[in-house]
């Protein structure tokens, strides 16, 4: 008997972000470790904002099966996604 197809397969294939998240966390940890102390919370937020801007420029890999995943997300999380 064949296994029924999991309805989340398309979305799961698009959500393989563990390595990307770990990479971002490592970059942010490296910034805070090298810097030491920050004069205020606002200074830390500014440094993180600029770091995330620079990190996101490196993300060029296309997401596999994105159209199918986006369709599933639109159905599942209709109120959270902006209307086109």
Give the model's pLDDT for residue 1: 52
Give the model's pLDDT for residue 17: 54
**Distance (Å, rounded) from C-alpha 72 to C-alpha 79?**
13
Give the model's pLDDT for residue 46: 93
Helices (H) and strands (E) counted in the chain, each on its own, are 4, 0
Q: Residue 42's pLDDT band (boundaries 50, 70, 90)?
A: very high
Nearest to 14 by CA among 83, 73, 80, 78: 73
Give the model's pLDDT for residue 8: 56
What is the arithmetic mean of pLDDT over 35-60?
Answer: 87
């Amino acid at each position: 008997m064949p296994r029924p197809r999991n309805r989340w397969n398309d979305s799961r294939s698009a959500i393989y972000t563990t390595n990307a998240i770990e990479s971002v966390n490592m970059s942010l940890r490296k910034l805070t470790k090298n810097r030491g102390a920050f004069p205020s919370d606002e200074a830390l937020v500014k440094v993180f904002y600029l770091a995330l801007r620079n990190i996101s420029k490196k993300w060029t890999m296309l997401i596999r099966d994105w159209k199918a995943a986006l369709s599933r997300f639109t159905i599942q999380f209709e109120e959270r996604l902006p209307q086109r």
